[in-house]
């Protein structure tokens, strides 16, 4: 079965034309051949273009019989890999048997075989140039420590090419998300078919944006967690979450900058919305340590906009060329747009609009304000937990609506600083448990306390919650945190982080695309969440 480059114009996908020829390859790892065949069928039905059969994962290998069965019964084109332990695989036997098995795979009809750069000379001596025309030789190199310089990567590619490889493959490790940029540079300028991946969570972009930079293939797993290298997404995520088939060289890249960031549902929201209107963009998770380095590295107008979450909302303000006056007074930015005409960065804050609107709507809906004009927050005591970017945004927003502000934070000094700027009172987090100056107060948690995986944590005792009329939690994974569950049990109105999330996303989407936000679609997506 020959591995044919897809006709990108004719290949209809479930939601439009396939815009790139980058393949999705499913790594097949199992104890037995029978299990492999089941996984191979799943890979086909999930939408993979080819399978990588990892012979080193088999508990027992009967080379001729097993390879013949796998070649014959595979419904997809094959890559045979027999990875030794010294290159991150599971095979620890002698080299001669290993290379002989790869030669056998080549002779029995494999579409590709993958041979390590360190072993390719021995392999070439073994086959003495007798390579079937049907079988393509992938020569690979894996670096589990870091990602070398562009110069070193260029030299590596040249060394792999010199071995007679039909396809160059290298995988490096992301120490920082900026490492991925060097791999994009190499991929985009490669004159030969190239598979280039950056392993680990910080390397996710390298796997998703393959089609934009002209990569030959990317790896997608059949099941979540069953990976052959760190950081692999599932085939489903590539196709349904990241719209992989629709990406091309001119696709604009957006993303959520944060640490941690893998929990974020933003890619689900924006990518579905992009697809629904045919907008040529993709939105990815970006695990960022240093936001300044990140923005300087990804400085092209192709990297067109970013949402910003914990812990970068304050530090990113200094990285913007222009900051919206409200965001400047809050001292926090959660949305950055790269202007397409000059590449300059514009920062704004959509957090407080989403949260304050959701809180006001809930109070109005409960009949707290019976048709009177103005905000139902006016004159109320509004307690904000957290003095970071989101805390500042909510305190500012509530103050604008006429609320009296109290800031509670783990470190009292930060609470005091913000309280002085906003004009309010400061407390430590511990003080909250005994703070009951009046009833029917509003409480807003803007910290990550209670976020997955620490779902049993809460910033305040249940007893203390009895003094609050409404409790809001910016955490939305899980949707109902322990804080909200206990607040509800105490009779308070609860407003989830999902409400804030949707509200702030409307404005960001419009700034990213210049199109009206698909509000109903956003609500439908998050209702199923």
What is the set of active-site residues?
A: 142, 169, 313, 351
Longest dimension (CA), the chain: 88
The C-alpha atoms of residue 362 and residue 178 are separated, in whole angstroms, by 42
Adjacency order of strands within the sheet including 345-348: 281-287, 252-258, 303-308, 335-338, 345-348, 322-323
The C-alpha atoms of residue 308 and residue 301 are separated, in whole angstroms, by 18
Give phi and psi for 429, each to the nearest 5: -60, -40
Residue 147: burial class (beta carbons within 10 Å; 0-12, 13-18, 19+):
buried
Residue pair 344/359 in contact (Cβ under 8 Å)? The answer is no
DSSP for 94-144, please give it: -HHHHHHHHHHHHHTT-SEEEEEGGGHHHHHHHHTT---TTPEEEEEEE-S
Q: Which helix (H) or strand (E) element contains residue 396?
A: helix 389-400
Residue 191 in tokens: 């004159």
Give phi and psi for 113, each to the nearest 5: -130, 150
Q: Which of 380, 421, 424 is nearest to 405 (CA)?
A: 424
Residue pair 506/519 in contact (Cβ under 8 Å)? The answer is yes
């Amino acid at each position: 079965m020959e591995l044919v480059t897809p006709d990108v114009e004719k290949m209809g996908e479930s939601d439009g034309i396939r815009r790139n020829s980058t393949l999705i390859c499913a790594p097949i790892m199992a104890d037995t051949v029978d299990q492999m065949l089941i996984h191979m069928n799943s890979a086909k039905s999930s939408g993979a273009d080819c399978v990588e059969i990892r012979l080193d994962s088999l508990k027992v290998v009967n080379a001729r019989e097993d390879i013949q069965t796998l070649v014959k019964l595979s419904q997809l084109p094959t890559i045979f890999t027999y990875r030794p332990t010294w290159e991150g695989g599971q095979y620890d036997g002698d080299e001669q048997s290993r290379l002989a098995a790869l030669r056998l795979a080549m002779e029995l009809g494999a579409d590709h075989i993958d041979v390590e750069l360190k072993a390719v000379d021995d392999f070439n001596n073994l086959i003495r140039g007798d390579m079937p025309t049907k079988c393509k030789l992938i020569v690979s190199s894996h670096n589990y420590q870091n990602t070398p310089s562009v110069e070193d990567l260029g030299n590596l590619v040249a060394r792999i090419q010199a071995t007679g490889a039909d396809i160059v493959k290298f995988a490096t490790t992301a120490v920082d998300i900026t490492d991925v940029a060097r791999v994009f540079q190499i991929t985009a300028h490669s004159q030969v078919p190239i598979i280039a991946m950056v392993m680990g969570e910080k390397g996710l972009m390298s796997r998703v944006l393959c089609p934009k930079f002209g990569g030959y293939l990317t790896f997608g797993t059949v099941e979540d967690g069953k990976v052959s290298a760190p950081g692999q997404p599932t085939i489903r995520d590539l196709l349904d979450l990241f719209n992989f088939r629709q990406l091309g060289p001119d696709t604009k890249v957006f993303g959520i900058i944060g640490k941690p960031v893998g929990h974020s549902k933003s890619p689900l929201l924006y990518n579905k919305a992009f697809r629904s209107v045919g907008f040529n963009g993709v939105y990815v998770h970006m695990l960022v340590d240093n936001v300044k380095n990140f923005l300087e590295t990804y400085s092209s107008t192709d990297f067109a906009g970013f949402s910003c979450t914990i812990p970068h909302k304050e530090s990113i303000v200094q990285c913007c060329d222009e900051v919206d006056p409200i965001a400047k007074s809050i001292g926090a930015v959660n949305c950055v747009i790269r202007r397409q005409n000059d590449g300059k960065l514009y920062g704004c804050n959509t957090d407080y609009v989403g949260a304050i609107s959701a809180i006001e709507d809930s109070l109005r809906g409960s009949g707290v304000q019976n048709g009177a004009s103005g905000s139902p927050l006016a004159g109320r005591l509004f307690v904000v937990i957290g003095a970071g970017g989101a805390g500042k945004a909510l305190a500012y927003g509530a103050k604008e609506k006429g609320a009296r502000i109290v800031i509670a934070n783990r470190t009292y000094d930060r609470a005091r600083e913000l309280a002085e700027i906003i004009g309010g009172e400061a407390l430590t987090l511990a003080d909250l448990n005994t703070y009951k100056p009046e009833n029917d107060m509003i409480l807003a948690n803007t910290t990550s306390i209670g976020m997955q995986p620490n779902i049993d944590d809460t910033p305040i005792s249940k007893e203390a919650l009895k003094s609050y009329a409404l409790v809001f939690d910016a955490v939305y994974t899980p949707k109902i945190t322990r804080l909200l569950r206990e607040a509800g049990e105490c009779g308070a109105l609860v407003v989830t982080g999902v409400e804030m999330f949707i509200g702030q996303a409307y404005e960001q989407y419009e700034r990213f695309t210049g199109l009206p936000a698909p509000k109903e679609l956003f609500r439908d997506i998050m209702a199923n969440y």
